[in-house]
Amino acid sequence: MQYRTFGPLDWQPSALGFGAMRLPTLDDDPARIDEPLATRMVRYAIDHGVNYVDTAYPYHRGESERFLGRALQDGYRQRVKLATKMPTWLTKEPGDFDRYLDEQLERLQTEHVDFYLLHSMNQEKWPQMQELNVFDWADKARADGRIRHLGFSFHDTLAAFKEIVDGYDGWTLAQIQYNYMDVEYQAGTRGLEYAAEKGLAVVVMEPLRGGQLTKEPPPSVAALWAGAPARRTPADWALQWVWNQPQVSLLLSGMSSMQHVEENVASAARSGVGTLTPAELAVVDQVHTAYRGLCPISCTNCKYCMPCPNGVNIPRIFEIYNDSVMYDDLKRAQAFYQWVSAENRADRCVECGECEEQCPQNLPIIEWLKKAHELLGKAE
Ligand SMILES: NC(=O)c1ccc[n+]([C@@H]2O[C@H](COP(=O)([O-])OP(=O)(O)OC[C@H]3O[C@@H](n4cnc5c(N)ncnc54)[C@H](OP(=O)(O)O)[C@@H]3O)[C@@H](O)[C@H]2O)c1
């Protein structure tokens, strides 16, 4: 295992952390974790040097934390730093902070979590957390030893990311989605560099884009990998690319089979800052461009079309549609579309055409919305 640096702490994290969000399950039911297999996977990772485990209140419908409470028995808890997350969408009043943390400690069968993250922060939740005086609460929870360090996980724009980084001087870590396709998405490379410059540890999630970068690649991408100066699996290319960045403290992979764990542990052992050659990095750039070339709607997410008078979340719907085509992953796209509130879905379009007047790309937005709803709304 390779070890890296972790922001302000005098502690070295393993390059690979275990993300407990995509554990193997029985009968495709997220709440039914295949516990014997998942326990072997977590313990194999720790026995091979992994020292960071990440979970959250809602993962596997609440069973991820309970599972880890059991899997980290027999001395494994003491060998790792444990991160879990406050369910920020459920905390409505200050008393909720204690209630959820105490429940999580009980689930995890531990007296403290090393890293407590405000889950999935964005520009809506950030002011709510401040209004609830979350930092005063965190000071107390740190003082009484239930949490060691505070951080946040993040899904929103770069501007929102910077505001949150700058809005509190007690952060130890930020957790961002980052991979070679998302260099300009959400926090992106600029956010990674910004947080690291401010002294925060940066934990990377979705380094394989939740598995999208490991699927059978489209022919244009497969040809580039075949002609690359080194032979690697698509997963190894994606992971090594993240580890190549000096600002990354560690990456979390949500491994769902023993083979994933063995492969990613072996990848981590070969990892390091600057290990990819300029020629290899150029191939990854070309793969990025090739995937982008498959993008059917040339929406740049400028949001000039917003707000839609009828509430349609046009940029988000186009993003989901584009991903479904680029990564040939309709199932995941349909699931993401379900998470868009019914009032913001494409079938709310009344064809007023205001958006098309504003679109600098002159996109036929109304037609694309119809196509998107037809494809993505099928799971309804
Ligand atoms: N806080 C947040 O908002 C948030 C959001 C997302 C994630 N997270 C955390 O970050 C962790 C990592 O994110 P992620 O789970 O999206 O990570 P990821 O590594 O991008 O995706 C994991 C998926 O990649 C595939 N995979 C992993 N290793 C592979 C290998 N060697 N070969 C082929 N395929 C492989 C598997 O997909 P298949 O099973 O489909 O093959 C696996 O389920 C999560 O587990 C969670 O702990 C947090």
Contacts of 181 (CB under 8 A, 6+ apart): 209, 213, 288, 291
Ligand 1 atom closest to Cα of residue 55: 47
Q: How far, in whole angstroms, is CA 71 from its chain's centroid?
A: 23
Pocket test for ligand 1, best of 33, 41, 118, 255 (most atoms within 8 A of CB): 255
Residue to mutate, 60, 63, 214, 239, ligand 1, most ligand atoms under 8 Å from C-beta: 214
- Establish whether the linkage from the previous residue to 307 is cis, with ω within 30° of 0: yes
C-beta of residue 113 within 8 angstroms of C-beta of residue 84: yes
pLDDT, average across residues 44-61: 97
Provide the percentage of residues in the chain whose pLDDT is more than 90. 88
Q: Given this model, what pLDDT does residue 302 score?
A: 75
Rounded Cα distance, 93 and 101, in Å: 14
Over residues 310-334, the mean pLDDT reads 92
pLDDT tens digit string along 346-363?
999 999 999 999 887 889
Instruction: Spell out which residues line ligand 1, taking CB within 6 angstroms.
Output: 19-22, 54, 85, 119-120, 153, 155, 175, 205-211, 214, 235, 252-256, 260, 263-264
Instruction: Tell which residue, 348, 346, 352, 358, has the closest CA to residue 321.
Output: 346
Over 70: is that where the pLDDT of 380 sits?
Answer: no
In angstroms, the CA 37 to CA 42 distance is 9
**Mean pLDDT rounded to a whole number for the chain:** 95
Quote the ligand 1 centre to 22 CA distance (angstroms).
6
The predicted model gives 206-233 an average pLDDT of 92
Under the banding of pLDDT at 50, 70 and 90, the label for residue 370 is very high
Containing 38, the helix (H) or strand (E) segment is helix 35-47
The answer to whether residues 320 and 376 touch, using CB atoms and an 8 Å cutoff, is yes
Is residue 65 within 8 A of residue 108, CB to CB? The reply is yes
Q: Whose CA is nearest to atom 48 of ligand 1?
A: 205
CB under 8 Å to 242, separation ≥6 — which residues? 178, 179, 180, 204, 207, 248, 251
Single-letter amino acid code for the residue at 90: L
Please, which pLDDT band fits residue 227 given cuts at 50, 70 and 90? very high
pLDDT bucket at 255, cuts 50 / 70 / 90: very high
Mean local confidence (pLDDT), 274-301: 92
Mean pLDDT of 143-148: 98
- Domain range list for the chain: 16-273, 314-379
Which residue type, as a one-letter code, is found at position 186?
Q
Q: pLDDT band at 28, cuts 50/70/90?
A: confident
> What pLDDT is attached to residue 328?
86
Distance separating the N- and C-terminal Cα atoms of the chain: 44
Q: What does the pLDDT average to over 121-127?
A: 94
Closest residue by Cα to atom 26, ligand 1, is 211
Instruction: Write the residue with the smallest CA distance to atom 39 of ligand 1.
Output: 256
Q: Comparing C-alpha atoms, which of 143, 189, 149, 188 is closest to residue 168?
A: 149
| H or E element at residue 66 | helix 63-71
Ligand 1 closest atom vs CA 54: 47
- Which residues fall within 8 angstroms of residue 126, CB to CB, at 6 or more apart? 160, 163, 164, 167
Distance 221 CA to ligand 1 centre (A): 21
- pLDDT, residue 114, reads 98
At residue 267, does pLDDT exceed 90? yes
The residue type of 257 is S
Between 63-71 and 35-47, two packed helices, what is the crossing angle to 10 degrees?
60
Highest mean pLDDT: which of 40-44, 128-132, 220-224? Answer: 40-44
Residue 51 alpha carbon to ligand 1 centre in Å: 17
Q: Which of 256, 257, 263, 339 to mutate to test the pocket of ligand 1 (most atoms within 8 A of CB)?
A: 256
Ligand 1 atom at minimum distance from 236 CA = 31
Q: Whose CA is nearest to atom 41 of ligand 1?
A: 211
Token pair 């029985």 is found at: 26
Percent of the chain at pLDDT above 70?
A: 99
Mind listing the pLDDT tens digit for each residue in 152-188? Answer: 999 999 999 999 999 999 999 999 999 999 999 899 9
The confidence score (pLDDT) of residue 301 equals 77
For the chain, the C-alpha Rg in angstroms (whole number) is: 21
What tokens does 346 get?
A: 């494409």
Containing H/E element for 239? helix 234-243
The CATH code belonging to domain 16-273 is 3.20.20.100
Least confident residue range of 215-224, 247-256, 339-348: 215-224
**Strands annotated E in 211-339:** 250-253
